Structure 1
């Protein structure tokens, strides 16, 4: 028996060596246990994975078996199905022969275009008939309103010269008041204060005559246009506007060159020009109660105050003409 090895450093050193060796053994045992646990856990995970794959494979096999049985059943019935289809074919062929033939797309498109053209034509006829009806109603109403004050004075419809005599008055405002009585197709919304500013001018008497001439011609134009449309003849080029009407008369009270149908860019686009020419009208003509009046008549010559009469020709709609301004020349590019 070999003697027990002793440490050359004495019992104390030998005891420390034993303690260190024991600690290393305990640590080694702990590492072995941990490693064993990790291996066991990994094995469990792998086992669970392969079990899951096995279940998927089993389900897929079960579904494949079900499909195989259904296919086998169809295959077993193949002969019966084939015979049944073959027996149905003659009946189907016969039914197809008696089906109505589908019309060609081009033929349908042609029919559609013809129908749309006919619809548009009927719409246009309806519009024209409605315009003639409205013109006839306006002519009837205006004739009734006109006959009461004018029959006693012997004024004939459309007789501008006779009407002009009835518009004679000692003042410009008086001429406008007479027009309100006798010119039943004129709506006069002009501010009388504008006319009154011209009363004491040395040319006031000349302007009164020209104003009466202009108002009489405007009334004659509206009357003749309404009556022409009411008779179903339609308003030709002579009734395109007041200037054309004056140009078509043999001896008009108002020269066509005095009728201006539009104004320059300042009047139609600048804020000041547009504001000055936005004048009052009945709400039946414009719901806002105002409308732009660029058409006007030169009552005075070019020298200031150069009176002008601005109006709105609404004869194509209401059959009326609105006189929205009579007074000094409104601001334009040369007076601004």
Structure 2
């Protein structure tokens, strides 16, 4: 276009600014606990579908002396949140195992790979090891007041001591509850864990 030629008229189109998405409300951060005792107290108050064994505090408190204790407390809280959510899901009439539900969860707080649905056959068959995984339950769960808790969550994967574990009994099919029997160092087993 030559310098002296008139420019063609252009129309000015006013564009509307793009709509502003409302920011999602910030997710409430998980509480930070100074001890496993505090965590267990809070869990007993917050999680109505989880029944925490009266004897959890002593083995759990022994974990507080380790440098990884803050990480373990955070993982434990995430595990309890997932167990509560799963129990709520089951109370709605749905079926399925915890690990399967966790694998299908859009935002799991713990890895499904850290959930063991039971112990090895050797550990489960050994009377001493089985006894170490047997915890009190209400008579509505077991007539004699005790059940075997083979299912567990690896709070710390691997076998390096203390390798904390959370042992639970899923009774969602009957009582809509999950019983937490042990939270602490890895219980004795044939694998030496």
Q: Could you tell me the TM-score, scaled by structure 1's length?
A: 0.47
Residue 30 of structure 2: which of 158, 162, 165 is its match?
A: 165
Q: Per-residue deviation at 1:222?
A: 0.4
- Distance, in Å, in 2 between the alignment partners of 1:247 and 1:335 is 28
User: Residue 86 of structure 2 aligns with which residue?
Assistant: 221
Conserved 8 A contact 1:173-1:195: yes
Tell me which structure has the larger Cα radius of gyration: 1
- Distance, in Å, in 1 between the alignment partners of 2:121 and 2:115 is 18
Write out the 4+ residue segments of structure 1 that deviate beyond 4 Å after TM superposition. none
Q: Which runs of 5+ in 1 are unaligned?
A: 1-160, 230-234
- For 1:193-245, what per-residue CA distance to the aligned partner results, in whole angstroms no more than 9, with x for missing partners? 00111111011011000000000000000012212x1xxxxx2xxx4111011
SS of 2:135 mapped into structure 1 = strand
Conserved 8 A contact 2:114-2:154: yes
Q: Could you tell me the TM-score, scaled by structure 2's length?
A: 0.81
What is the aligned length? Answer: 165
The farther-off stretch of 176-185 and 283-292 is 283-292
SS of 1:187 mapped into structure 2 = strand
User: Residue 212 of structure 1 aligns with which residue?
Assistant: 77
User: Residue 19 of structure 2 aligns with which residue?
Assistant: none
- Distance, in Å, in 2 between the alignment partners of 1:179 and 1:269 is 32
Conserved 8 A contact 1:266-1:273: no
SS of 2:181 mapped into structure 1 = strand
- Distance, in Å, in 1 between the alignment partners of 2:130 and 2:89 is 31
> Aligned ranges for residues 187-336 of structure 1 at < 5 Å?
187-189=51-53, 190-227=55-92, 229=93, 235=94, 239-302=95-158, 303-335=160-192
- Distance, in Å, in 1 between the alignment partners of 2:70 and 2:39 is 11
> Aligned ranges for residues 46-57 of structure 1 at < 5 Å?
none
Q: Which runs of 5+ in 2 are unaligned?
A: 1-26
Q: Per-residue deviation at 1:191?
A: 2.5
SS of 2:188 mapped into structure 1 = coil
Q: Give the structure with the larger helix fraction.
A: 1
SS of 2:63 mapped into structure 1 = coil
